[in-house]
Amino acid sequence: MEPNKPYLVVLIVQTIYAAMFLLSKAAFDHGMNNFIFVFYRQAAATIFLAPLAFFFERKNAPPLPFATFCKIFFLSFLGITMSLDIYGIALVYTSATLAAATTNCLPVITFFFALLLRIESLKAKTAPGIAKMVGIVACLGGAATLAFYKGPHWQLLGHHHILGYSHSNARAHSVPSGTWIKGCFFMLLSNTCWGLWLVLQAFVIKGYPSKLLLTTLQCFLSSIQSFAIAFAVERDIQQWKLGWNVRLLAVAYCGIMVTGVTFYLQTWVIEKKGPVFLAMSTPLALIITIFSSAILLGEIISLGSLLGGLILVIGLYSVLWGKSREQMPKASRDLEVASGV
């Protein structure tokens, strides 16, 4: 059982992310303001993480110079507040399936920024370098397919589905092409902010090495930032009420399960099997979301979403293959070549 644990854990991680896409979409379809949702989500994450950070890191907390604090504030604004706010806008315009599909381009976007900042290298005349370039092109092609091509539609459960509301189905047919394209643009912009956040975080963590405290501090700062944005956008007190419904469930789930639980699980997987293994499991969230959104939300699956998601997955694996080949010891690569692999 021990060797299979990482496989089980990545399945759990991607299932948690798939549920995040579904619950967020359900909350928005029930009328929740996406900016208020981000504030509540980050506040829940802060409340969940703060006691853990205090208990585990209070004796080993590194010093926090003002310059480092400013960097963390900027990181929080770019990679959490802006990324989640833009993601919420995009999800209102599109679907949970599209959100899961575009997540597959995140490793490619992250690699592209790492390349610009000279953290990564690209040897264009080698097989790994060519694979990376093919992956970047495939990512762009997949994103374009998602945005500009819908094709035939399929619905798994007719007009009846588990959550019992159907206006999202009608909207799937009536959404203007311009609105869908705008949603795709915002989804890619959200992933771009997220990817840049991942790259810049590597610089900040050198000066502030406590991962748990860094995450907690970013969640706290993001709570303040997202509250300011939400309050500026929405002053109606009724919109701020949660109640015992899907809104509260989505906020609690995203704040605790996504930010809290997956943080630990992903760290464990990276320690056991490495970051490439974790990244290769990303398409599982898309597969789970496609079927779950059709059953739970009654979303209509389009051929364009399936093709675009498939192209994004191909691009993801192409970049990951190239990176893994470059990280192999030279002796191992020479042995593969000699044996005809």
Give which of 237, 238, 234 is closest to 226, Cα–Cα: 234
d(CA 199, CA 119): 9
Give yes or no for a contact between 246 and 31, defined as CB atoms under 8 angstroms apart.
no
Task: Residue 35: count other Cβ atoms within 10 Å of its Cβ.
Answer: 22
Per the CB < 8 A criterion, the answer to whether 30 and 204 are in contact is no
How many structural domains compose the chain? 1
CB atoms within 10 A of CB 74: 14
On whether the CB atoms of residues 85 and 34 are closer than 8 A, the answer is yes
Distance between CA atoms of 207 and 307, rounded to whole angstroms?
43
Cα–Cα distance, 200 to 80 (Å, whole number) = 13
Q: Which domain holds residue 67?
A: 2-338
- pLDDT in 10s for each residue of the chain, 341 residues: 566 788 898 889 889 998 998 899 888 888 889 999 999 999 999 999 899 888 888 888 888 899 999 999 999 999 899 999 999 999 888 888 888 888 878 878 887 888 888 777 777 778 888 888 888 888 888 878 877 777 776 665 544 444 444 444 444 444 566 788 888 899 999 989 988 888 888 788 888 888 888 888 999 999 999 999 999 998 888 888 888 888 899 999 988 888 778 877 887 787 677 666 777 778 888 888 887 877 776 667 777 778 888 888 888 888 878 877 776 655 444 434 333 43
Closest to 254 in 3D by CA, of 89, 44, 93: 44
Residues 8/306/26/248 CA torsion (nearest 10 deg): 30
